[in-house]
Amino acid sequence: MDHKTVFINIKRREHRQYKNGSPRTPKNNIESVSKKYLIVGLGNIGAEYVNTRHNIGFKILDFLARKEGLDFQTVKLGSLAEYKFKGRSLLLLKPNTYMNLSGKAVQYWMEKEKIPLENIFVITDDLNLSFGTIRIKPKGSDGGHNGLKNINLVLNTNQYTRFRFGISDEFKKGKQIDYVLGEWNAAENEALPERLELASEIIKSFGTAGLENTMTSFNGK
């Protein structure tokens, strides 16, 4: 058999492997990974933080879990619930590392579940937005938020989607920490259910309609 015949036979085998979806090709793995999302709600663990403004990330995930009949399981570095929706797998993660070390949990579950950066969705509070205002961005600075700051540091990037939920900045000078770690007032508590419902729809939209469509549909609402 001459060299030309050997080359032709090799090319034929390569073509058959690609055509038949050989396990050696990454196509099926990529398709599987792309349907898995990590939805991270930022907050602090402990009963004293449950109803605080800083824990809106936890509160949104808890609301979605109750609505869909999901149970959180205690896992490494957090609590996790899996939400299967329209062929997607949305992993709802509440890190138990406290806010300032959130990046450790995000990185661990990204790597464990092989979730690409573009499928990460981080929910956080934002002092610079009026109460209940929604802002979804594909990247950005930490804005002084310690949870985002640690995620940026651990992942060595800020190129991931974040969902900022406005908590307003109605506090006196020097009282920011007390305000952020304070509980919602009566008016905010009355308005929260509708905002939580909207936040749940945003999470589902991110997993099915994609980032651009989600931003177009929900930003500013």
C-alpha distances in Å from residue 109, one per residue of 13, 43, 132: 38, 17, 28
DSSP 26: S
DSSP per position, 126-142: ETTS-TT-EEEESS---
Q: Which residues are catalytic?
A: 54
What are the structure tokens assigned to 31, written together? 């398709």
Which residues are registered as beta bridge partners of 161? 121
> Taking Cα atoms as reference points, which of 189, 144, 145, 158 lies closest to residue 52?
189
Nearest-CA neighbor of 76 among 49, 103, 96, 61?
Answer: 96
